[in-house]
């Protein structure tokens, strides 16, 4: 735990699934409905700071989030990224992308290409149930 | 294989390591010396289009590239991303980041924050040898 880390000390988060190792949250981003984060509970910076089984466990949650977003939202593409330049606490961005979204085909961190598509927020309960089916009941 | 895909039909690539399943290339980007890509040989769009063992095999190469870049270049951060919005053929960006690089702490796809740092290109042979030590001899 790092006292000044916003992922160690979350204020408001919409948690879809969680166990003692990691959590999956739904990001409140009107440009990117369904945008999820998979956040390691421990304060660790890089994937290669984890053991191989820990890396596999975290990626299992990332790929479960990808699978659920594809199943529920049928986006045109999924983007996965672990950056952590601002908050060096391992977290994965799992982002459903659409051809008419604000930045497509650019990364969501680029300058926008067009106005928001106005696509609505997904049903968080449905995403949470689908994650539970894939990842099991939280601890 | 897709006839119009630039990752199925690469023109110039600096390949650091390759087997029948994937290859690791060194990207020619003067802003990001050491920037590597891990490219699946098959033309597949999403990680969840692969089987679990295939996903693990591809991530092993991604994490080997991360480990080698940390070992050889000691960057301030590693960024990992699988986007594929332009070329929907699975490939991972493995990017060594430095506090004085063009975009830090933003993603490299954002508007630059400062001029290039002028950091020089890494020794490709050294990266290739380090990858071979971690991933074994190519097929």
- Long-range contact pairs involving B131-138 (C-beta distance under 8 Å, separation at least 24): B131/B16, B131/B17, B131/B24, B131/B64, B131/B65, B131/B68, B132/B17, B134/B64, B134/B67, B134/B68, B135/B17, B135/B19, B135/B60, B135/B61, B135/B64, B138/B17, B138/B18, B138/B19
Q: Report helix angle A124-135 to A52-73, nearest 10.
A: 140
* H or E stretch covering A58: helix A52-73
pLDDT at A139: 58
A110 to B106: CB separation less than 8 angstroms, yes or no: no
Q: Nearest by CB to B78, which of A46, A67, A107? A: A46
Chain A positions with Cβ closer than 8 Å to B: 45-48, 55-56, 59, 63, 66-67, 70, 77-86, 88, 97, 104-107, 109-111
Which of the residues A66, A78, A86 would you substitute to probe the B interface, choosing the one with the greatest number of B C-beta atoms within 10 Å?
A78
For chain B, how many residues are written? 139
Q: B89, B90, B88, B69: which is closest to B79 by C-alpha?
A: B69
Give the count of alpha carbons within 13 A of A36, CB side only: 32
Going residue by residue through chain B (139 aa), what tens digit of pLDDT does each one get? Answer: 788 999 999 999 999 999 999 999 999 999 999 999 999 999 999 999 999 999 999 999 999 999 999 999 999 999 999 999 999 999 999 999 999 999 999 999 999 999 999 999 999 999 999 999 999 987 5
Q: Which chain B residue has its CA at the smallest distance from A96's CA?
A: B83
> Could you give the CA distance from residue B64 to residue B77 in angstroms, rounded to a whole number?
15
pLDDT surpassing 80 at residue A90: yes
Question: pTM for the complete prediction?
Answer: 0.97
Which of the residues A56, A61, A72, A85 would you substitute to probe the B interface, choosing the one with the greatest number of B C-beta atoms within 10 Å?
A85
**Cβ neighbours, 10 Å, residue B20:** 9
Pairing mode, if any, of strands B22-26 and B14-18? Answer: antiparallel
State the complex-level ipTM.
0.97
Q: Nearest by CB to B77, which of A55, A59, A84? A: A84
Residue A115 backbone phi and psi in degrees, to 5: -70, 165
pLDDT surpassing 90 at residue A79: yes
């Amino acid at each position: 735990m790092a006292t000044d880390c916003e992922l160690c000390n979350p204020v408001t988060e919409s948690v879809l699934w969680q166990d003692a190792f990691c959590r999956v949250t739904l990001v409140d981003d009107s440009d990117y409905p369904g945008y999820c984060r998979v956040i390691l509970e421990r304060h660790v910076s890089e994937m290669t700071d984890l053991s191989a089984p820990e890396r596999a466990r975290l990626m299992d949650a990332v790929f479960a989030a990808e699978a659920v977003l594809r199943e529920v939202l049928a986006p045109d593409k999924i983007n996965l990224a672990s950056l952590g330049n601002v908050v060096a606490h391992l977290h994965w961005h799992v982002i459903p992308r659409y051809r008419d979204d604000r930045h497509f085909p650019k990364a969501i961190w680029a300058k926008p290409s067009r106005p928001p598509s106005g696509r609505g927020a997904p049903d968080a309960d449905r995403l949470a149930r689908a994650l539970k089916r894939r990842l099991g009941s939280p601890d």
